[in-house]
Amino acid sequence: NAGVTQTPKFRILKIGQSMTLQCTQDMNHNYMYWYRQDPGMGLKLIYYSVGAGITDKGEVPNGYNVSRSTTEDFPLRLELAAPSQTSVYFCASSPTGGSSYEQYFGPGTRLTVT
């Protein structure tokens, strides 16, 4: 199993550009999450999904969109990138959101908006 994979690993965007961060998991997990982590800070939840076709907002959803058409994939879309979106983005998955709280994280995407 590859676990959770994310692409790209690094990206530099100009202000106003758009991009999609890809996330795929091969563990057949129902729950998937997108976090951002600013330097020296904890993780903040952007969006999450409890299964294919179902998504919901986290703490900091503004400026982002997600979709979940399959169990495996959970892409994060940035529209009209802003410098405030410079961060490291982590995708994670877990079997459930209830009794099992172990989240498996991808390696992250380091995004700079200039």
Partner 1 sequence: GQSLEQPSEVTAVEGAIVQINCTYQTSGFYGLSWYQQHDGGAPTFLSYNALDGLEETGRFSSFLSRSDSYGYLLLQELQMKDSASYFCAGMNRDDKIIFGKGTRLHILP
Residues of this chain that interact with partner 1 (CB under 8 A) are 31, 33, 35, 40-45, 48, 50, 58-59, 90, 92, 97-98, 101-108
What are the residues whose beta carbons fall under 8 Å from the beta carbon of 32, sequence distance 6 or more? 23, 25, 48, 49, 68, 74, 91, 92, 93
Closer residue to partner 1 in complex, CB, 85/103: 103
Of 19 and 50, CB closest to partner 1:
50
The nearest distance, CB 36 to partner 1, in angstroms, is 11
Cβ within 8 Å of residue 78, ≥6 positions away: 13, 18, 19, 20, 21, 63, 64, 85, 111
Query: Minimum Å distance from CB 16 to partner 1?
Result: 29
Q: Which two tokens stand for residue 110?
A: 């380091």
Choose between 86 and 105: whose C-beta lies nearer to partner 1: 105
Residue 43 beta carbon to partner 1: minimum distance, rounded to whole angstroms: 4
The Cα 27–Cα 30 span in angstroms is 9
Q: Which is nearer to partner 1, 75 or 97 (CB)?
A: 97
